[in-house]
Amino acid sequence: VDVCYTNHAEADQDDMDNLLTLLGVAGCNFIMGIPGSDDIMLNYQSTSFHDALYLRKMLGLRPAPEFEAWLQQQGIMDEKGMLAEKPDTRRLLDKLF
């Protein structure tokens, strides 16, 4: 689900937060994550990766087991399901190239 609104709509971040929370409580298991929540090409606001973290924490959920294992292997998430204090971003970038 893409929880979003165009910049000319009568909506704001509070509306998106409310909708995101309602979708999470209703059992939605996938949302779009846009870096910075701002799609400049399409001129709209959306949810970010951090919104997914908020929703998981608020509802006491964890990522899919395979994704959680990958996040831990990459040093992005710790064993408690929280973001690592200081992810080794250099190591992550080295893996890309």
Whole-number average pLDDT of the chain: 88
Range 40-65 average pLDDT: 91
Check if the beta carbon of residue 60 is closer than 8 Å to that of residue 30. no
| Residues 18-43 pLDDT 10s | 999 999 999 999 999 888 888 888 88
35 & 79 share domain: no
74 & 53 share domain: no
Q: How far apart are CA 25 and CA 19, in angstroms?
A: 10
57 & 67 share domain: no
54 & 70 share domain: no
Structural domain span for residue 86: 63-97
Q: How far apart are CA 39 and CA 55, in angstroms?
A: 21
Provide the domain count of the chain.
Answer: 2
pLDDT at 91 over 80: no
31 & 14 share domain: yes
Tell me if the pTM is above 0.85. no
- Give one DSSP letter per residue of 4-24, joined into a string: -EETTSS--HHHHHHHHHHHH
Residue 75 pLDDT class (50, 70, 90 cuts) = confident
16 & 38 share domain: yes
